[in-house]
């Protein structure tokens, strides 16, 4: 398997090689366009000074040779050729002594030869170090009434030894530093990735508490923070899932055990008719409880989908609330609960069936947990483009510690509530309200009652869901 570390190192080497090639080409281009011409001009000027000195010297052969030898010792290669074909070399000898046609014109036409600038193999800057007569500058001069040509260049031995070593050391040091730096950077990048990889393996084993020791301020640090947040959320979800399964199992097992138990009792031949009716009524109540629980679970599972297919339509919300009130009037009369409502005529665009579950849950809770002879107030108003439904009761209320958890699935505050509900109603109501881009809030005082407030957008505000 090609690890990220190996791929990074391979990419680093490729980049380094390409960088060297591009750097060489760029340097060579600068040499060809700028350095060659400047070097040629400088050497021509030096050669002119040399021949000016020769032409003004005393016309003695010993002085001629001595002067040129002293110039050669200063770091130059010299080659002098006369019109009669005689020639002399001073300093380091050239590899070849054949002159190109352009160089011969120095003597025949007394022109200046620009060999360094026009050297045939000088497209690459290494041609600057060629030890050839073609790679020189040439100027004419007259000595003892005879025309000569002086061909000169800096001593290649002096230049190449220093320049080559400096250039090679410079390139090598850059390459080594670049490679070491990229290796260090690769380790810094791959180490946290390896930790994240191990953390994902631990999550696959359902270990949601694997520690991540990654402290960075870059994108990898952000990824680590997001991963840690995901890990905590998965741990919470796993705990919630286990609690959900436990609660469902318990809430399903209880009515099933009652049904089985009373069904067994009904098989006894010694039962009276009144006992049979009593046991059958218990079985019927437990079956109804089991049916309601499974229906709520199915609805809650459907609402958990990413895009629940709600079916919005425009209808009168006040009329829907009046219908809910009529459906439960018999129960309120049975418990001597007084209900008053103030419903403003409002139209809303929403899923009527889903919202009916919300109002049904709020009203049944207000009745169920109210005191005998208590009251319920139902109000519908509008403000700032939103419909507001509030339901107030004078019941037992909700404790301060339980209030933040009232919308959790299967949460029931006390034994009185556990015996009379599944703990799913308010969770379902919150899911439905959220699906309609609304909010549900609760205020409660133990012993005095509770108030639930639902806020929903009016028709001009778009709804969520796939059919919105």
Give yes or no: residues 355 and 389 share one domain: yes
334 in a structural domain: yes
Give yes or no: residues 22 and 133 share one domain: yes
More confident residue, 160 or 132: 132
The pLDDT score that the predictor gives to residue 466 is: 36
Q: What are phi and psi of 290, to 5 degrees?
A: -65, -40
Tell me the CATH number at 54.
3.30.450
Tell me the CATH number at 260.
1.10.287.130
CA distances from 248 to 28, 234, 241, 297, 417 (A): 79, 20, 10, 9, 16
The pLDDT score that the predictor gives to residue 375 is: 94
What's the number of domains the chain is made of?
A: 3
- Strand 87-90, strand 347-350: pairing: unpaired
Give yes or no: residues 272 and 379 share one domain: no
Least confident segment among 53-62, 381-390, 413-422: 413-422
The pLDDT score that the predictor gives to residue 120 is: 55
Other C-beta atoms closer than 10 Å to the C-beta of 282 total 16
Q: What are phi and psi of 93, to 5 degrees?
A: -70, 145
Q: Which domain holds residue 372?
A: 313-457
Q: Say which residues have a Cβ less than 8 Å from residue 77's Cβ, sequence separation at least 6.
A: 89, 90, 91, 92, 93, 94, 131, 136, 152, 153, 154, 155, 156
Give yes or no: residues 232 and 325 share one domain: no
384 in a structural domain: yes
Q: Is the pLDDT assigned to residue 108 strictly greater than 80?
A: yes
The pLDDT score that the predictor gives to residue 464 is: 44
174 in a structural domain: no
**Residue where a domain stops, chosen among 264, 281, 303:** 303
Give yes or no: residues 319 and 435 share one domain: yes
Write the pLDDT tens digit of every residue in 392-415.
999 998 888 888 888 887 776 654
Q: Is the pLDDT assigned to residue 435 strictly greater than 50?
A: yes
Distance (Å, whole) CA 366 – CA 392: 7
The pLDDT score that the predictor gives to residue 317 is: 94
The pLDDT score that the predictor gives to residue 457 is: 92
Q: Is the pLDDT assigned to residue 340 strictly greater than 90?
A: yes
Least confident segment among 5-14, 257-266, 314-323, 446-455: 5-14
Q: Is the pLDDT assigned to residue 158 strictly greater than 80?
A: no
User: Which of 281, 282, 296 has the alpha carbon at shortest distance from 251?
Assistant: 296
225 in a structural domain: yes
User: Which of 84, 88, 83 has the alpha carbon at shortest distance from 67?
Assistant: 88
Q: Is the pLDDT assigned to residue 145 strictly greater than 60?
A: yes
Rg (CA), the chain: 50
The pLDDT score that the predictor gives to residue 41 is: 87
Average pLDDT of the residues of the chain: 81
462 in a structural domain: no
Q: How confident is the model at residue 140 (pLDDT cuts 50, 70, 90)?
A: very high
Write the pLDDT tens digit of every residue in 167-183.
666 677 777 777 777 77
Average pLDDT value for residue range 15-26: 76
Write the pLDDT tens digit of every residue in 89-99.
998 888 877 88
386-393, strands of its sheet edge to edge: 338-343, 375-383, 386-393, 449-457, 439-445
Average pLDDT value for residue range 410-437: 72
User: Contact at 8 Å (CB) between 168 and 111?
Assistant: no
Q: Is the pLDDT assigned to residue 42 strictly greater than 60?
A: yes
Q: How confident is the model at residue 27 (pLDDT cuts 50, 70, 90)?
A: confident
Give yes or no: residues 269 and 356 share one domain: no
Tell me the CATH number at 375.
3.30.565.10
Least confident segment among 79-88, 316-325, 338-347, 436-445: 79-88
Give yes or no: residues 224 and 254 share one domain: yes
**Residue where a domain stops, chosen among 162, 183, 201:** 162
Give yes or no: residues 282 and 337 share one domain: no
User: Contact at 8 Å (CB) between 396 and 458?
Assistant: no
CA distances from 364 to 70, 327, 356, 361 (A): 118, 11, 12, 5
More confident residue, 276 or 377: 377
168 in a structural domain: no
The pLDDT score that the predictor gives to residue 163 is: 60
Give yes or no: residues 391 and 299 share one domain: no
124 in a structural domain: yes
Q: Is the pLDDT assigned to residue 39 strictly greater than 70?
A: yes
Average pLDDT value for residue range 70-78: 88
Give yes or no: residues 8 and 152 share one domain: yes
The pLDDT score that the predictor gives to residue 247 is: 67
Least confident segment among 75-79, 152-156, 299-303: 299-303
The pLDDT score that the predictor gives to residue 419 is: 46
Least confident segment among 133-147, 299-313, 323-337, 376-390: 299-313
Q: How confident is the model at residue 250 (pLDDT cuts 50, 70, 90)?
A: low
Q: Is the pLDDT assigned to residue 29 strictly greater than 80?
A: no
- Strand 375-383, strand 338-343: pairing: parallel
User: Contact at 8 Å (CB) between 330 and 300?
Assistant: no
Give yes or no: residues 284 and 331 share one domain: no
Global pTM reads: 0.49
The pLDDT score that the predictor gives to residue 463 is: 47
Average pLDDT value for residue range 302-308: 65
Give yes or no: residues 146 and 259 share one domain: no
353 in a structural domain: yes
The pLDDT score that the predictor gives to residue 342 is: 93
User: Contact at 8 Å (CB) between 297 and 424?
Assistant: yes
More confident residue, 429 or 460: 429
């Amino acid at each position: 398997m090609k690890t990220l570390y190996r791929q990074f190192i391979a990419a680093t080497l490729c980049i380094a090689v390409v960088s060297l090639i591009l750097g060489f080409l760029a340097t060579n281009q600068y040499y060809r366009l700028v350095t060659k011409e400047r070097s040629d001009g400088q050497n021509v000027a030096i050669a002119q000074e040399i021949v000016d000195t020769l032409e003004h010297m005393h016309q003695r052969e010993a002085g001629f040779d001595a002067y040129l030898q002293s110039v050669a010792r200063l770091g130059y290669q010299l080659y002098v050729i006369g019109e009669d074909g005689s020639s002399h070399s001073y300093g380091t000898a050239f590899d070849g002594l054949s002159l190109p046609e352009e160089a011969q014109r120095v003597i025949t036409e007394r022109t200046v030869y620009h060999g360094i600038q026009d050297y045939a193999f000088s497209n690459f800057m290494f041609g600057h170090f060629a030890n050839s007569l073609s790679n020189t500058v040439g100027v004419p001069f007259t000595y003892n009434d005879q025309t000569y040509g002086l061909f000169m260049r800096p001593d290649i031995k002096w230049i190449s030894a220093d320049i080559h070593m400096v250039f090679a050391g410079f390139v090598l040091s850059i390459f080594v530093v670049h490679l070491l730096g990229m290796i260090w950077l690769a380790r810094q990048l791959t180490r946290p990735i390896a930790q994240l990889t191990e953390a994902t393996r631990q999550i696959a084993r359902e270990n949601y508490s694997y520690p991540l020791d990654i402290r960075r301020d870059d994108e990898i640090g952000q990824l680590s923070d997001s991963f840690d947040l995901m890990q905590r959320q998965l741990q919470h979800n796993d705990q919630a899932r286990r609690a959900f399964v436990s609660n469902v199992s318990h809430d399903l097992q209880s009515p099933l055990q009652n049904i089985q138990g009373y069904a067994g009792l009904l098989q006894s031949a010694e039962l009276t008719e009144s006992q049979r009716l009593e046991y059958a009524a218990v079985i019927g109540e437990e079956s109804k409880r089991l049916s309601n629980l499974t229906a709520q679970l199915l609805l809650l599972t459907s609402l958990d989908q990413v895009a629940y297919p709600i079916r919005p339509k425009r209808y009168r919300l006040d009329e829907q609330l009046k219908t809910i009130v009529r459906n439960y009037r018999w129960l309120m009369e049975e418990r001597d609960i007084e209900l008053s409502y103030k419903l403003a005529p409002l139209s809303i665009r929403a899923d009527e069936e889903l919202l009916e579950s919300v109002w049904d849950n709020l009203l049944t809770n207000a009745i169920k947990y109210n005191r005998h002879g208590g009251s319920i107030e139902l109000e519908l108003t509008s403000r700032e483009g939103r419909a507001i439904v509030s339901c107030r009761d004078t019941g037992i209320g909700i404790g301060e510690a339980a209030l933040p958890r009232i919308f959790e699935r299967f949460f029931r505050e006390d034994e009185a509530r556990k015996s009379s509900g599944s703990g799913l109603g308010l969770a379902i109501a919150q899911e439905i309200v959220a699906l309609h881009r609304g909010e549900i809030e609760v205020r409660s005082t133990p012993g005095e009652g509770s108030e639930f407030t639902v806020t929903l957008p009016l028709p001009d505000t778009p709804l969520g869901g796939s059919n919105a």
